[in-house]
Structure 1
Amino acid sequence: MKYLISYDISSNKKRYRVVKALEEFGCYRIQKSVYFIDSDEKTIKDLRKSIMGYFRGDSLIIIPLELSVIKNSEFLGKGYSEMPKGEDIFL
């Protein structure tokens, strides 16, 4: 399953730790606070557990993406080139 993850974190220290965790779990940054991951449900649960403590007063949303949503999505501007090469993520 593919997921879109977005956060709103005011503290630079907390934001840095969350970004590192997202990247360690294989998330790809597509905007400053928006990430994409193609992963199984167990990995998402593990990711959620690892960053849960950072969100007192801040927020994060994990959105599962159906193939039909992805096929009808458009990506404009900087960031798309950072996506993994050779994968059809946004069609």
Structure 2
Amino acid sequence: MPKPPKKEFDLKERIQKIRDSGILAQPDQKSILDPEDELLPLSGRIEKILNIFQGKPQKSTTMNYLIMYDIENNKVRRLVAKYLLKNGCIRVQKSVFLVHSDHKKFEEIKQTLVEINDVYENEDSIILVPLNISDARSMKLIGKNVNIEQIIDPPNTVFL
């Protein structure tokens, strides 16, 4: 007897199923990270960011956005991360994503995140920040040895 086809759930339905299962009542639960949750090496993240800021000129209908979250529950956090990656967001840090998208797509992502946050009792926060090129150029990075100016405005080199 063949297996029935696997049903695909959207993110809101998955969060609702988690809520219904009672898992969210156990905030101290630990989980093993999926390989998909791992960050790219720093050079890979820098390359993806460079492609966004140095790519083709942006249409006036598109914008860069930072999406940052502090979600306590591991399962919800993992589902949100997978949703953001599926929708073209680039993971900069564990809970920080950069997305280059048109306003309509960004509003869809924002609305989904609002609905997820409303599904269950929590004290989580999700921050969505529009980021234009001049703001990106004024960013400073503390910690890792990455010069943000070289990412946004790389020096010009002439080889003779």
Quickly name the TM-score band, shorter chain normalised.
0.7 to 0.9
**Higher relative CO (CA 8 A, sep ≥ 6), structure 1 or 2?**
1
Residue 22 of structure 1 is matched in structure 2 by: 84
Unaligned runs of 5+ in 1: 81-89
Unaligned runs of 5+ in 2: 1-62, 153-160
Structure (1/2) with the larger strand percentage: 1
Cα distance in 2 for partners of 1:51, 1:66 equals 22
1:77 has 2:144 as partner: yes
Cα distance in 2 for partners of 1:44, 1:9 equals 20
Deviations 1:12-45 (A, max 9, x none): 1110110011101111111111010111111111
Which of these two proteins has the greater Rg computed from alpha carbons? 2
TM-score (norm 2): 0.46
Indicate conservation of the 8 Å contact 1:21/1:50, yes or no. no
Structure (1/2) with the larger helix percentage: 2
TM-score (norm 1): 0.77
Cα distance in 2 for partners of 1:64, 1:41 equals 10
Specify the SS of the correspondent of 1:39.
strand
CA displacement at 1:50 relative to structure 2: 2.3
Aligned length: 81
Deviations 1:26-78 (A, max 9, x none): 11111111010111111111112223233242110110012111112244638
Structure 1 consecutive aligned stretches of length 4 or more whose deviation exceeds 4 Å:
none
Q: CA RMSD in A?
A: 1.9
